[in-house]
Structure 1
Amino acid sequence: MAYYGVNMNLNYTNICELRCPLCAFSCNENDEKAFLLSPDEIEKRIRSAARSGIDEVHIVGGLHPNLKIDYFEQMLRLIKKIKPDMHIVAFTAVEYDYFAKKNKIPVEEVFKRLMDAGVEALPGGGAEIFSPRVRSVIAPKKISGTQWLSVIRTAHKMGLKTNATLLYNHIETAEDIVDHLSKIRDLQDETGGFKTFVPLQFHSENTALDVTRTTTGYDDIRIYATSRIFLHNVPHLKALWMYLGDKMAQTLLRFGVDDIGATYHNEKVVHAAGAQTPDFGSETFLKRLIHNAQLIPERTTASYRCLSAGLEKESL
Structure 2
Amino acid sequence: MIIKVPNYTFTLNENTIIPDELVLFMFLFKYKNADNEIFTSLNLIGAIIKFQKGNDRKNRPFIKNVLLSLQNKGLIMTNVSEDTSSDDIISGSILNVKDKYIGVKSNVFDEILKSDDFIRSKLKLYIYTYIHGSANNGRVVDLKTLSVMCKYFDSVKSYSVSAIARLINEMDGKFIYKFSGKRKGDSLEQESNRYYTHLDSDKMREYKQINNKKKKVIDKNKVYYHCTMEPFTIAEFKEKIRDDSVNWQKYKPDTKVYRDIDYDDYELYRISVDFNLDESFNSRCNKAIDSLKKNMSVEIPWNEWEERYLEDKKLSKQTEE
TM over 0.5: no
Q: Which has the higher helix share?
A: 2
Provide the TM-score with structure 2 as the length reference.
0.26
Higher relative contact order (CA 8 A, sep 6+): 1
Q: For the pair shown, which has the larger CA radius of gyration, 1 or 2? A: 2
